[in-house]
Amino acid sequence: MALSKNRIKYIRSLELKKNRKANKVFLAEGPKLVGDLLEHFACRFLIATAEWLSEHKQLPTNDVTEVSEEDLARASLLKTPQQVLAVFEQPDEAMDTSAISRSLCLALDDVQDPGNLGTIIRLADWFGIEHIFCSPNTVDVYNPKTVQATMGGIARVKLHYTPLPELIRSLKDIPVYGTFLDGENMYTQSLSTNGLIVMGNEGNGIGREVEQLINRKLYIPNYPSDLETSESLNVAIATAVVCAEFRRQAASL
Amino acid sequence: MALSKNRIKYIRSLELKKNRKANKVFLAEGPKLVGDLLEHFACRFLIATAEWLSEHKQLPTNDVTEVSEEDLARASLLKTPQQVLAVFEQPDEAMDTSAISRSLCLALDDVQDPGNLGTIIRLADWFGIEHIFCSPNTVDVYNPKTVQATMGGIARVKLHYTPLPELIRSLKDIPVYGTFLDGENMYTQSLSTNGLIVMGNEGNGIGREVEQLINRKLYIPNYPSDLETSESLNVAIATAVVCAEFRRQAASL
């Protein structure tokens, strides 16, 4: 069956947030990712090659189009299209801030790069972090580049877009961490198994208003060296190094 | 002065490895990165806006073209061109494998994504790792996306493309680490301050031949959870978490 021009246009329109938002959908591509997401999100429609379809007879949607690799490439946003592309419904998630008192959560203050956000979701998934609170200016979780970079983590980690100052002010006696050059060496601190770890924007770090609400400032030590070295880490890398240390301490308690 | 069509064509041709290699050059963009690299690499030529040039009167090249933002955008490979673009000469680096017995080094077995490689160079710089040995199929360090992602780390961290099995076989009594699902929990191991940490390809991990030469298999524990969680970490994230633990142990000796 050929793919209609309208459908190709619709799929490609989902590169833009306003179109994703208007339709309350998002796009995912590739056998591994789509396979993962089919178990967690309602699927509006799916297009795939005969090869993929022959291995997936039972699908949770009736709107399935078999396409040639050529047609798939016309719809795909990837450089190298991968057998299957699906459009899913954005779920309605209720925000549950009580998770912050029970468990370790992340907050992102204006992270801008879709790949960084996706990588952070993937590593949150690895480290068993179930909730990420994002400032309203943080890049959209349903950006196709973000979805792809989560490698399926988007199915398990919940994102909540909400103004961070209000969120943090609503927390009572809960540790709120952030990394700063003038923070305390995180390896010398006793880190909690609950609370919020705030990570900042790629260029500007954590905003001033949020910074003033952080009650536990940490520093990620670099390697003592006489050489001139890098001044900073990529935000996803910094998030990983911090989360790993929280989880190392928790496991060795 | 207007930018010639030929020069625009030349700059844009540097997106391809064969053209970078034929000319032994690479491209970098943006005030921060170009500023860093001007101190470390020979500059063939530079194009910049009047604004940038007014703040940089002393330049180590005579081939400087002042351009409008519009002309800069015609040459730039970035979505958002940033004031300055420069073409640098690729340095000739002699490979020094004795660094592996003296210090901690990285080896990359077919890392394919330019952004991942750049991020790894940036974090190596942060963690004071001065040498990265790359399998010949690892993505080119002079890929513009890699150069941008290093955030200047490319000026300090040395990359050497060489077959990894031969390299590892030439090492005598030196620890060679890699991460595997069946490795030892890295937090329970005593990690050395020298040796080689091997990281693998995004999809396939470490190749079989290299795996057989690894004498210290490590495992990065994820967070114990009853939930289904992610099966893997992005290679740059895994590299960071491993390097951070080596440096944490070294600092607490």
**Residue of A237, A246, A249, A253 best to disrupt the B interface, most CBs of B under 10 A:** A237
For A136, other C-beta atoms within 10 Å of its C-beta total 9
Residue A58 has which token pair?
A: 């039972």
What is this model's ipTM? 0.91
Set of chain A residues whose Cβ sits within 8 Å of the Cβ of B152: 230
Q: How far is CA B94 from CA A35, B38, B130, B158, B169, in A?
A: 47, 21, 13, 10, 19
Set of chain A residues whose Cβ sits within 8 Å of the Cβ of B181: none
Instruction: Give the pLDDT confidence of A147-192 residue by residue, as tens digits.
Output: 999 999 999 999 999 999 999 999 989 999 999 989 999 999 999 9
B58 vs B56: CA distance, rounded Å: 6
Strands across the sheet with A104-108, in order?
A: A158-161, A131-134, A104-108, A195-199, A176-185, A216-219
Instruction: Give the pLDDT confidence of A225-247 residue by residue, as tens digits.
Output: 555 666 789 999 999 999 999 99
Apex A243 CA angle, A239 and A245, nearest 5: 125
B123-127: average pLDDT: 95
Q: How far is CA A17 from CA A13, A75, A77, B30, in A?
A: 9, 17, 14, 27
Instruction: Give the pLDDT confidence of B76-116 residue by residue, as tens digits.
Output: 999 899 999 999 999 988 898 999 999 999 999 999 999 99
Interface A:B, Cβ pairs < 8 A: 118
DSSP assignment of chain B: -PPPHHHHHHHHHTTSHHHHHHHTEEEEESHHHHHHHHTTS-EEEEEE-HHHHHT----S-S-EEE--HHHHHHH--SSS--SEEEEEEPP-----TTHHHHSEEEEEES---HHHHHHHHHHHHHTT--EEEE-TTSPPTTSHHHHHHHTTGGGTSEEEE--HHHHHHT--S--EEEEEEEEEEGGGS---SSEEEEEEBTTTBS-HHHHTT-SEEEE------SS---S---HHHHHHHHHHHHHHHHHT-
Reduced to 3 states (helix: H, G, I; strand: E, B; else coil), residue A175 is coil
Chain A residues with a Cβ under 8 Å from any Cβ in chain B: 115, 119, 122-123, 125-130, 149, 151-153, 156, 187, 220-225, 227-230, 232-234, 236-237, 240-241, 244-245, 247-248, 250-252
Set of chain B residues whose Cβ sits within 8 Å of the Cβ of A129: 223
Q: How far is CA B180 from CA A67, A207, B169, B199, B217, in A?
A: 38, 38, 20, 10, 6
A202 vs A241: CA distance, rounded Å: 16
pLDDT for A227 equals 58
pLDDT for A31 equals 95
Instruction: Give the pLDDT confidence of A28-39 residue by residue, as tens digits.
Output: 999 999 999 999
Set of chain A residues whose Cβ sits within 8 Å of the Cβ of B131: none
Of B129, B241, B251, the CB nearest to A244: B241
Amino acid identity of residue A15, one-letter, is E
Is the per-residue pLDDT at B226 higher than 70?
A: no
Residue B179 has which token pair?
A: 């991460």
B34 vs B43: CA distance, rounded Å: 10
CB pair distance less than 8 Å for B232 and A130: no
| pTM for the whole structure | 0.93
pLDDT for B1 equals 61
Beta-strand pair B84-89/B43-48: antiparallel
Set of chain A residues whose Cβ sits within 8 Å of the Cβ of B240: 233, 237, 240-241
Close Cβ partners of A181 (under 8 Å, ≥ 6 residues apart): A219
Residue B196 has which token pair?
A: 């080689």
CB pair distance less than 8 Å for B123 and A237: yes
CB pair distance less than 8 Å for A234 and B229: no
More confident residue, A223 or A92: A92
A213 vs A209: CA distance, rounded Å: 7
pLDDT for B64 equals 94
Set of chain B residues whose Cβ sits within 8 Å of the Cβ of A240: 233, 237, 240-241
pLDDT for A223 equals 79
B218-247: average pLDDT: 85
Give the residue carrying structure tokens 């073209």. Answer: B65
Distance to chain B for A7, nearest Cα, Å: 27
Instruction: Give the pLDDT confidence of A56-109 residue by residue, as tens digits.
Output: 988 998 899 999 999 999 999 998 999 999 999 999 888 989 999 999 999 999
Beta-strand pair A216-219/A176-185: parallel
Amino acid identity of residue B212, one-letter, is Q
Amino acid identity of residue A1, one-letter, is M
B222-238: average pLDDT: 77
**Residue of A234, A245, A247, A253 best to disrupt the B interface, most CBs of B under 10 A:** A234
A12-27: average pLDDT: 97
A122 vs A210: CA distance, rounded Å: 24
Instruction: Give the pLDDT confidence of B30-87 residue by residue, as tens digits.
Output: 999 999 999 999 999 999 999 999 999 889 988 999 999 999 999 999 989 999 999 9
Mean pLDDT of chain B: 94
